[in-house]
């Protein structure tokens, strides 16, 4: 059963399907991109007799993890996705499964997740006077690196060296009659590309929360 | 004479180029050929990446080692931090086949392979084993007999394959400084860490508890200069003294030099050629004394 579900999701979702693991008999955890949670749920709803058990939310520091617990005949499917805290929007499941209604409202109250297309996005468990930006179970965005470590990690990933090469250092080097810049990753784009491939290959960028666009940490 | 691939390290390249200039000069005097390692990256440093992402630490160090292996060179370093990373990764990957396979599966994607055919050598080992202490002693042109120096070997210089071997490199370091003619002054805290790694957890503790304690003992010993063999320690002692003065009103004013710089001076290389004036500690006081 689990193999059949995985095959169907893989075939229909293509690149949006991230991975699937079977922790034990009768359980299947499938990770998909946030854009594909609704399509994945709808594939299962169209193929099987599905009951939504609940949706759980966890603050991972940099991201919020949502798990949609779906009960299928003889198997429980945990449909997992990660929402970056910078953009906590995701399509609501409520129009497809009405049982998601109050669960999504509760997660919105406590974690600030915006369920787009929810037919009744009122507060559920927080009072109406509660400050709008105060989401009690969502902490500030933070990752593994300390303030002291962040520049080190940013420089390492973006240049391959942990300290930037300043103009003053270059001038001093020329005056000392040593090469202005050494042939390291700073001066060798192909070598830097290799290093960044390794960084991505071992998942270090995601682990420390590095943003490739800004070349800074996300926190 | 053997040829070596040199991993200069980030600190030397960007913050303490005078150490690189001095090292190039002394290796040139002794006919040791070094090749700047094309495409090398940070070793990577043993404090942050090793703690947060050990897999990345292994992979990037193995990549650097593979660059030397592909040219059939042994890898030389003048930095204790680089030595620690490269030594530990080299030995770990040689001994743990499963780990080597896993790291190589990452390196294969960029066309590299860790073979385990290279050794990692600290510059003090090369000066001792390849050049020879007698030859160095015979090359001293300007004995520094008027200079009282305190030593800081640095924690990672004690990294070794066997327990019995743990203080071999620190002893070589001491011999090399003696050969310059400088007077070695004991201050009792030689083996104490400079405090650089502690900065990640607690900067105040690193500066006030560790660094200031050590500097206080150096000052009490009446040593005129602190000699290190690690650029990371050098940065901690130099920039740390500035921070201690600015933040806590603790002024030590102790000059800090790398072994290669001290040896350059003893070999008669003009101090202006190696940029000693670029140091952030009062090394100019030492230069003035020696040249005055």
**Domain membership flag for residue A145:** no
Of B81, B52, B31, B60, nearest to B193 (Cα)?
A: B81
Look over chain B and give the mean of its residue pLDDT values, rounded to a whole number: 96
pTM above 0.80, yes or no: yes
Where does the pLDDT of residue B206 fall: very low under 50, low under 70, confident under 90, or very high at 90 and above? very high
Co-location of A9 and A105 in the same domain: yes
pLDDT for res B49 = 87
Closest approach of chain A CAs to the CA of B53, in angstroms? 6
In tens, the pLDDT along B110-129 reads 999 999 999 999 999 999 99
Q: What angle do CA A205, B88, B237 make, to 5 degrees?
A: 80
What average pLDDT does the segment B16-28 reach? 97
Co-location of A81 and A170 in the same domain: no
Co-location of A164 and A110 in the same domain: no
Q: Do B52 and A173 touch (CB under 8 A)?
A: no
Beta bridge pairs of residue B120:
B75
Query: Whole-angstrom distance between the N-terminal and C-terminal Cα of chain A?
Result: 41
**Domain membership flag for residue A128:** no
pLDDT for res A7 = 87
> Domains in chain A: how many in total?
2
Residues of B in contact with A162 (CB under 8 A): 10, 42, 44-45, 48
**Domain membership flag for residue A27:** yes
Query: Which of A60, A90, A116 delimits the end of a domain?
Result: A116
Co-location of A95 and A166 in the same domain: no
Gap between the Cα atoms of A88 and B216, Å rounded: 53
Residue in B17, B36, B48 nearest the CB of A172? B17
Domain ranges of chain B: 3-123, 133-291
Q: Which residue has the tokens 């083996």?
A: B191
CATH fold, domain B133-291, is Rossmann fold (3.40.50)
Q: How far is CA A137 from the centre of its chain?
A: 17
pLDDT for res B1 = 67
Co-location of A110 and A18 in the same domain: yes
Structure tokens at A194: 């290799």
Co-location of A88 and A179 in the same domain: no
Q: Is the pLDDT of residue B2 over 80?
A: no
Name, in order, each residue with C-beta under 8 angstroms of B224's C-beta and a sequence gap of 6 or more: B147, B148, B149, B255, B285, B286, B289
In tens, the pLDDT along B220-238 reads 999 999 999 999 999 999 9
Q: A187 — contact with chain B (CB < 8 Å)?
A: no
Where does the pLDDT of residue B100 fall: very low under 50, low under 70, confident under 90, or very high at 90 and above? very high
Helix crossing, B283-291 with B259-266: angle to 10°?
10
CATH 1.20.1050.140 fits B3-123, yes or no: yes
Co-location of A92 and A176 in the same domain: no
pLDDT for res A11 = 86
Q: Can you list the residues of chain A whose pLDDT is less than 70? A: 1
Co-location of A110 and A26 in the same domain: yes
Co-location of A39 and A112 in the same domain: yes
ipTM: 0.93
Q: Is the pLDDT of residue B248 over 90?
A: yes
Closest approach of chain A CAs to the CA of B198, in angstroms? 11
CATH number (domain holding residue A37): 3.30.460.80
**Domain membership flag for residue A134:** no
A195 is in which domain, residue-wise?
A: 150-217
Q: A207 — contact with chain B (CB < 8 Å)?
A: yes
What average pLDDT does the segment B167-174 reach? 97
Report cis status (omega within 30 of 0) of the bond before B44: yes
Of A13, A162, A18, nearest to A80 (Cα)?
A: A18
Co-location of A21 and A69 in the same domain: yes
Q: B21 — contact with chain A (CB < 8 Å)?
A: yes
What is the gyration radius of the CA atoms in chain A, in angstroms?
23
In tens, the pLDDT along B171-191 reads 999 999 999 999 999 999 999
Residue in A172, A195, A201 nearest the CB of B109? A201
Co-location of A6 and A111 in the same domain: yes
Furthest-apart CA atoms within chain A: distance in Å = 76
Residues of A in contact with B17 (CB under 8 A): 169, 172-173, 176, 178
Co-location of A66 and A110 in the same domain: yes
Q: Do A176 and B56 touch (CB under 8 A)?
A: no
Pairing of strands A114-116, A89-91: parallel
Of B220, B228, B217, nearest to B255 (Cα)?
A: B228
Structure tokens at A91: 């399509």
Residues of B in contact with A156 (CB under 8 A): 41-42, 44-45, 48-49
**Domain membership flag for residue A88:** yes
Q: B41 — contact with chain A (CB < 8 Å)?
A: yes
Q: Is the pLDDT of residue B105 over 70?
A: yes
**Domain membership flag for residue A80:** yes
Q: A110 — contact with chain B (CB < 8 Å)?
A: no
**Domain membership flag for residue A62:** yes
Gap between the Cα atoms of B169 and B175, Å rounded: 10
**Domain membership flag for residue A188:** yes
């Amino acid at each position: 059963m689990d193999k059949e579900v995985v095959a169907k999701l893989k075939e229909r979702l293509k690149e949006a399907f991230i991975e699937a693991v079977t922790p034990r008999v009768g359980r299947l955890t499938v990770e998909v991109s946030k854009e594909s949670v609704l399509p994945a749920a709808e594939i299962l709803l169209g193929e099987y007799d599905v009951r939504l058990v609940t949706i759980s939310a966890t603050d991972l520091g940099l991201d919020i993890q949502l798990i949609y617990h779906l009960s299928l005949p003889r198997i429980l499917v945990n449909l997992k996705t990660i929402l970056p805290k910078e953009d906590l929007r995701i399509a609501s499941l409520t129009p497809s499964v009405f049982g998601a209604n109050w669960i999504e409202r509760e997660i919105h109250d406590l974690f600030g997740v915006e369920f787009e297309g929810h037919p009744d996005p009122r507060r559920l468990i927080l009072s109406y006077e509660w400050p709008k930006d105060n989401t009690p179970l969502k902490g500030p965005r933070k990752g593994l690196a300390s303030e002291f470590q962040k520049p080190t990690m940013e420089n390492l990933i973006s240049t391959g060296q942990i300290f930037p090469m300043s103009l003053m250092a270059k001038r001093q080097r020329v005056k000392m009659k040593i090469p202005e810049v050494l042939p390291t990753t700073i001066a060798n784009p192909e070598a830097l590309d290799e290093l960044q491939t390794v960084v991505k290959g071992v998942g270090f960028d995601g682990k420390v929360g590095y943003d490739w666009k800004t070349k800074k940490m996300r926190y | 004479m053997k040829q070596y691939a040199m991993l200069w390290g980030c600190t030397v390249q960007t913050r303490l180029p005078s150490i690189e200039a001095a090292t190039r000069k002394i290796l040139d005097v002794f006919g040791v050929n070094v090749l700047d390692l094309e495409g090398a990256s940070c070793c990577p440093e043993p404090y942050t990446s090793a703690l947060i992402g050990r897999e990345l630490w292994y992979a990037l160090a193995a990549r650097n080692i593979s660059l030397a292996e592909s040219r059939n060179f042994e890898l030389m370093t003048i930095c204790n931090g680089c030595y620690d990373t490269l030594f530990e990764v080299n030995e770990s990957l040689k001994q743990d086949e499963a780990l080597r396979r896993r790291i190589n599966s990452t390196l294969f994607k960029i066309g590299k392979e860790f073979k385990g055919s290279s050794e990692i050598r600290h510059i003090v080992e090369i000066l001792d084993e390849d050049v020879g202490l007698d030859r160095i002693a015979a090359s001293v042109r300007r004995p520094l007999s008027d200079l009282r120096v305190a030593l800081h070997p640095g924690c990672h210089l004690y990294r070794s394959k066997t327990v019995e071997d743990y203080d071999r490199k620190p002893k070589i370091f001491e011999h090399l400084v003696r050969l310059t003619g400088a007077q070695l002054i004991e201050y009792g805290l030689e083996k104490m860490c400079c405090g650089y790694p502690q900065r990640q957890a607690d900067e105040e503790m690193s500066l006030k508890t560790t660094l200031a304690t050590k500097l206080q003992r150096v000052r009490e010993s009446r040593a005129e200069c602190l000699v290190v063999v690690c650029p990371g320690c050098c940065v901690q002692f130099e920039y740390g003294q500035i921070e201690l003065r600015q933040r806590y009103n603790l002024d030590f004013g102790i000059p800090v030099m790398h072994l290669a710089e001290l040896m350059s001076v003893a070999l008669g290389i003009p101090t202006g050629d190696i940029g000693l004036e670029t140091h952030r500690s009062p090394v100019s006081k030492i230069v003035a004394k020696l040249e005055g």
